[in-house]
Amino acid sequence: MRRTPTLSLSRANSLVALLLLLALVAAGCGDDSSDDTTASTAAATTTTVAATTTTTADDDRDHEGHDHDDEGHDHDDETTATVTDFLGREVTVTLPVESVAFTHYSTPEVLRVLDAWDLAVARGPYNLDTSIHPNFDELPDLGSIYEVNLEALIDLDPDLLVLESIPAPGLEELIEALDGVIPVVVLRTFNPNTLTDGFEALGQLLDREEQASEYIEWYLDIENSLAERTANLAEADKTRYFYHNAWGGDGIGTLTDAFDYIPDRNRITGSINVAGDIAESMAGAIFTIDQEWLASQDFDVLIVGDGMGAGNYGIATEDNSYVAAETERIAGNPVFAETSALTNDRVFYQSDHFLGSPRSIIGIAYYAKWFHPELFEDLDPQALHQEYFTRILGVDVDLTETGVFVYPEE
């Protein structure tokens, strides 16, 4: 794989943090949702179909429904790949795909893992560290996730548009507007429950099946090794935790078990989310929790997941003093004062780089280590993160010298 730096999200203000939440909330929306992004979905999970190759005679298009000028193209023989996407749609592209547009923040890192960042020609309206994604600022901004600039997109004429299924209006309309113009694949790579399916599908469409398989094997090996150790834990031996995220606001927010990958994470890490059964939430996300209720709860571990602002965390940050101060400030809220987590000094910060990203399994490994340090005495999540950068992404970086992703780091 190419040696190029990896993604580092920058959330400079509360609006960006809220947009992140809206993307992640999709993990809690089942296919029975009335939202127009999933109403027509036939499958509850992503299903992929093995890539097929066909030879098409006298076809005057580069890929299905995508017209091009004849000059410079040989249409007598075409090799295609077909997958079934998250919405149950069959998507066919002509290989090789040479240009990809996307609108969701998770897609760039997926492209990095697949050694396909060089195919990116257009992006969504968010900021990435250009020292990590060279030329990102030069890519045309298509607009919001489904409300894209159609004229600009069609003028760019990408071979494929990659979208993520989130609970926001406009997905079906966008697909319809591009029907017969640009192939569109809809995935959910930001959700750990459907991440590997999305990688398999995109790997086929981009002719990057080897890279996708390498990543999927790495991911599942870690997940299975964690789950094997916690499988026989008694309920009384599971670690009770509370996840804190203000989502850029002033209150205390959290995630319940209705956020659909949380139960699996709890199972893998041998833990209990104390806010798991709260009924009133936005697809599992709570922006402001009842602090009187929270003060009545005891738990073993406090996880701080708040965004820390651009430049204060991520791969280019070497000084963790800001993250340390913010974590301690949040933990100092009187509502947590009597908890076992504070009494036993079990407060940890984990950055949002591990949410909605191919790195999610590393975040899960950190949880396992924090929740059961004796059971996972030999587990080194930072070493897994280093392996992700070095082997999966091909990035020449030493995480012992740079990068702030968790606190404390030991």
pLDDT digits (tens, 9 = 90+) for 118-128: 999 999 987 77
Whether 201 and 244 share a structural domain: no
**pLDDT 10s digits, 58-67:** 333 343 434 4
Of 405, 385, 404, which Cα lies nearest the Cα of 395? 385
Whether 201 and 250 share a structural domain: no
- In the predicted model, what is the mean pLDDT of residues 258-273? 94
**15 or 257: whose pLDDT is higher?**
257
Counting the structural domains of the chain, the total is 2
Cα of first residue to Cα of last residue in the chain, in angstroms, is: 30
Asked if the structure places residue 313 within a domain, the reply is: yes
Asked if the structure places residue 312 within a domain, the reply is: yes
Asked if the structure places residue 84 within a domain, the reply is: yes
Asked if the structure places residue 391 within a domain, the reply is: yes
Q: What is the CATH number of the domain that holds 279?
A: 3.40.50.1980
Whether 160 and 28 share a structural domain: yes
Q: What percent of the chain has pLDDT over 70?
A: 80
Whether 195 and 244 share a structural domain: no
**pLDDT 10s digits, 178-190:** 999 999 999 999 8
Asked if the structure places residue 43 within a domain, the reply is: yes
- In the predicted model, what is the mean pLDDT of residues 372-381? 98
- pLDDT at position 280, please? 84
Asked if the structure places residue 344 within a domain, the reply is: yes
- d(CA 298, CA 180) in angstroms, rounded, equals 56
Tokens describing residue 171:
């997905």
| Residue 292: domain span | 233-407
pLDDT-based confidence at residue 167 (cuts at 50, 70, 90)? confident
Whether 373 and 241 share a structural domain: yes
Residues whose CB is less than 8 angstroms from the CB of residue 111 and which lie 6 or more positions away in sequence, other chains included: 100, 102, 117, 119, 120
- d(CA 9, CA 12) in angstroms, rounded, equals 10
Asked if the structure places residue 227 within a domain, the reply is: no
pLDDT-based confidence at residue 365 (cuts at 50, 70, 90)? very high
pLDDT at 349 over 70: yes
Whether 361 and 251 share a structural domain: yes
Whether 50 and 171 share a structural domain: yes
**307 or 82: whose pLDDT is higher?**
82
**pLDDT 10s digits, 280-324:** 888 889 999 999 999 999 999 999 998 888 789 988 899 999 999
pLDDT at 76 over 90: no
**347 or 41: whose pLDDT is higher?**
347
Q: What percent of the chain has pLDDT over 90?
A: 67
Tokens describing residue 201:
């599908």
- The residues that bridge with 406 in the sheet, in sequence order, are 350
**48 or 231: whose pLDDT is higher?**
231
Q: Is 284 left (phi over 0), alpha (psi -120 to 50) or beta?
A: left
Q: Last residue of some domain: 151, 173, 207?
A: 207
Asked if the structure places residue 217 within a domain, the reply is: no
- d(CA 381, CA 159) in angstroms, rounded, equals 37
Whether 197 and 50 share a structural domain: yes
Whether 180 and 278 share a structural domain: no
Whether 48 and 196 share a structural domain: yes
**pTM for this prediction:** 0.82
- pLDDT at position 155, please? 96
Whether 252 and 291 share a structural domain: yes
- pLDDT at position 44, please? 32
Whether 121 and 24 share a structural domain: yes
- pLDDT at position 47, please? 36
CA angle, residues 383, 387, 393, in degrees to nearest 5: 145
